[in-house]
Each structure stands twice: as C-alpha cells, then as structure tokens.
C-alpha cells in the first residue's frame, strides 16, 4: 500500500525543493545584514566538489565529506568577506560574482583533479548508501511495501526535510536574538549601528560566512543526491537563481526564502513546456517585483496581518462556543 503512494519522481523534485530552500536561506542571511552577494554559486561549488573528490577518490564517509565541504566553503566565505567589507550594493555583487566565476573557471581548467568541463560522475549517492547500510543490518525495504528505488528517494527526502526544519528553526531563533537584531541594525544604517557599539565588521563577516557555509552544505547535498556535478551547475545563472529565491519570496523574513525556493523550483516542473525559458521568466518576475513589490511576496507586514487574522479567528471561534 505504501509503495503505491510513493512516486520516486515526485520525491526527487521535493528533494530539489528542499535543497533550494537551503540555498534561499543562505542568501537570506547575507541579505539580512544588508550585503548583496552573488557568490553563493561559488560557495556551493566548493562544497560540492570538496565532498565529491573526498568521497570518490579517498573513500571518505559521506557525512565527513559533506561537513568538510561546508567548512571549506565557510573558510572561503571569510577570505572573500573580509576584503569585501568596504564594498556595498552593486560593487559587492560584482566582486562576489567575480569570485564565483573564478571558482568555475578553476574547476574547468584543472582537468587532472576535477575532470574539467566533463565534471565528476559516480559520486556516492546518499540514498544508495543508506539502503546498503540498512541491508547490512538485515533490513529489507520490501517488508514495508517499498521498492529499493522508492526507499532511496524517500530516505533522501526525509533527511533533507529534517535538515530544513532545523535550519528554519535556527534562522527564526537567530532573527529574534542579539545577532539578528545586530544584522537588522546594520542593514538599516551601518554608521548608526557602529555608533551604538555594534561590531559591524564582526557581524557582517559572520553573516557572510553563515551564507557561505549553508551554500556549501547545499552544494554537498546536491552532489550526493544527483551523483554527478560539473562546473556548468554553478555558473552565473545559478548565482542569479539563488538570489531570486529570496528576493522574489521576500528577503525580510525566513518564510520568503522558503516560499521563493519552493515556488520557483516547482514552477518549471509544472510548466514543462516553458522550463527552458525559466531564466527569462525569473528576469521578468524580478522586474515586476522591483516595480510593484520590492520587498517580495512575503514581508513583515503580511506576517503581522496573518497573525492578527488568525487571532481574530480563534477569538470568534471561542466566542461562538
């Protein structure tokens, strides 16, 4: 019965949505401190290629490869973030975009290590590794009515879902913490924040590093879900796509990145006929959003309105009883 309800294709699409949510959150935390970055595709590539090379060539366990890729991306975030402190707006965007292109060109030209433009195939697939581990302890997915491929994609989906729930909880807590308030103050007015005793340098590098770590983590998960990566996966288009997730959904709130990543990942799948034109669609959506709703679909005002409406419904419901 369970096997009849689970479609591997839908689970794979859902898994890509969850990975893109992590990417949306990675740019959200950078924008939260007022920094416009287009380097997350580069950080994603660092995480993906690090874990791919470690697990493929050196038989490093998946979890070690993923964590190493994430941490290395964070180190690159610090290296890029500190010199970029004096840059703002479009100048910071150009500098970080340059970093992403440097990473991509490096991956293309180091054929002896990265296979160049061909990419790396045969990367250990997370679901297959879980299936092998479960079979080694005597568990057969067919006992639950699942085929092997269904179990593989279901296990990936569940792991990503748990990770996403944790990250959403983390960012919501951080937003209402001292760190989140410091990010908001810096975004509103950097000089005023500094005059109030906020260490602007520390918090800007912190937000930049957080964004790099989570982008690298998403890249590592992407590599172990797809089992194949190439430099084309981390091009300029990917950088713009990640930015659009948060800008379209709403860069002020965590829910904006979640909505933007989910909607814009699902849209090409629903409209398969126009999937090849998704970057044109993204451009049109950005122009429309900047003209009519620059804060994105979801913002603080909408969330407050929804909370008030929900409270009124509860009040009326209690009164009617």
Q: What is the pLDDT of residue 307?
A: 75
Average confidence score pLDDT of the chain: 89
Contacts of 89 (CB under 8 A, 6+ apart): 36
Q: Are 30 and 183 contacting, i.e. CB atoms less than 8 angstroms apart?
A: no
Percent of the chain with pLDDT over 90: 60
Instruction: Reply yes or no on whether the pLDDT at 247 is more than 90.
Output: no
> For 177-202, how does the pLDDT look when each residue is reduced to its tens digit (9 = 90+)?
999 999 999 999 988 999 989 999 99
165, burial (CB in 10 Å: exposed 0-12, middle 13-18, buried 19+): exposed
Identify which has the larger pLDDT, 179 or 247: 179
Asked which of 137-141, 220-224, 238-242, 269-273 is least confident by mean pLDDT, the reply is: 269-273
Torsion of the alpha carbons at 216, 217, 222 and 224, rounded to the nearest 10: 120
Secondary structure class of 121 (helix, strand, coil) = strand
How many other CB atoms are found less than 10 A from the CB of residue 277?
Answer: 13
How many other CB atoms are found less than 10 A from the CB of residue 170?
Answer: 15
Identify which has the larger pLDDT, 9 or 124: 124
- Mean pLDDT for 238-247 is 90
Among candidate residues 159, 157, 172, 161, the one with its CA nearest the CA of residue 28 = 172
- What sections of the chain are H helices per DSSP? 2-5, 8-31, 40-57, 62-81, 89-109, 111-114, 126-136, 148-175, 178-188, 190-195, 200-226, 236-249, 254-270, 278-292, 300-320
> For 43-76, how does the pLDDT look when each residue is reduced to its tens digit (9 = 90+)?
999 999 999 999 999 999 999 999 999 999 999 9
Asked which of 75-79, 135-139, 209-213 is least confident by mean pLDDT, the reply is: 135-139
176, burial (CB in 10 Å: exposed 0-12, middle 13-18, buried 19+): exposed
Helix 126-136 crosses helix 148-175 at what angle (to 10 degrees)? 110
Q: Residue 88 and residue 80: Cα distance in Å, rounded?
A: 14
Instruction: Name the pTM for this structure.
Output: 0.92
CA 213, 14, 180 angle in degrees (round to 5)?
35
> For 4-20, how does the pLDDT look when each residue is reduced to its tens digit (9 = 90+)?
568 888 999 999 999 99
Contacts of 290 (CB under 8 A, 6+ apart): none
> Which residue(s) pair with 228 in the sheet?
121
Q: Enter the tokens of residue 243.
A: 């930015």
Instruction: Reply yes or no on whether the pLDDT at 1 is more than 70.
Output: no
- Residue carrying structure tokens 């949306």: 24
CB environment 86-102: b (16+ within 10 A), e (fewer): eeeeeebbebbbebbbe
Contacts of 66 (CB under 8 A, 6+ apart): 47, 51, 217, 220, 221, 224
> Which residue(s) pair with 229 in the sheet?
120
Identify which has the larger pLDDT, 275 or 177: 177
- Mean pLDDT for 81-110 is 90
DSSP class of residue 124? P
């Amino acid at each position: 019965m369970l096997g009849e309800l689970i479609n591997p294709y839908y689970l794979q699409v859902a898994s890509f949505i969850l990975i893109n949510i992590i990417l949306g959150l990675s740019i959200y935390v950078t924008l939260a401190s007022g920094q416009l970055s287009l380097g997350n595709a580069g950080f994603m590539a660092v995480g993906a290629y690090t874990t791919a090379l470690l697990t493929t060539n050196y038989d490093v366990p998946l979890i070690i490869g993923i964590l190493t890729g994430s941490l290395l991306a964070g180190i690159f975030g610090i290296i890029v973030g500190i010199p970029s402190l004096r840059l703002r707006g479009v100048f910071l965007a150009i500098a970080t975009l340059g970093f992403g292109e440097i990473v991509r060109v490096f991956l293309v030209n180091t054929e002896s290590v990265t296979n160049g433009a061909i990419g790396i195939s045969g990367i250990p697939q997370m679901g297959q590794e879980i299936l092998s581990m479960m079979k080694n302890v005597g568990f057969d997915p067919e006992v639950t009515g699942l085929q092997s491929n269904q179990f593989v994609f279901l296990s990936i989906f569940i792991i990503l879902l748990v990770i996403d729930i944790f990250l959403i909880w983390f960012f919501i807590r951080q937003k209402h913490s001292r760190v989140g308030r410091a990010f908001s103050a810096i975004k509103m007015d950097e000089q005023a924040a500094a005059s109030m005793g906020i260490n602007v340098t520390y918090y800007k590098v912190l937000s930049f590093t957080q964004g790099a770590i989570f982008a690298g983590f998403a890249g590592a998960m992407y590599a172990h879900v797809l089992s194949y990566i190439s430099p084309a996966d981390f091009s300029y288009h990917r950088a713009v796509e990640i930015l659009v997730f948060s800008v379209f959904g709403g860069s002020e709130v965590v829910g904006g990145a979640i909505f933007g990543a989910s909607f814009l990942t699902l849209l090409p799948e629903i409209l398969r006929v126009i999937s090849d034109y998704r970057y044109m669609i993204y451009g049109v959506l950005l122009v429309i959003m900047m003209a009519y709703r620059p804060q994105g679909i979801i913002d603080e005002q909408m969330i407050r309105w929804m909370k008030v409406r929900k409270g009124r419904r509860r009040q009326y419901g209690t009164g009617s009883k």
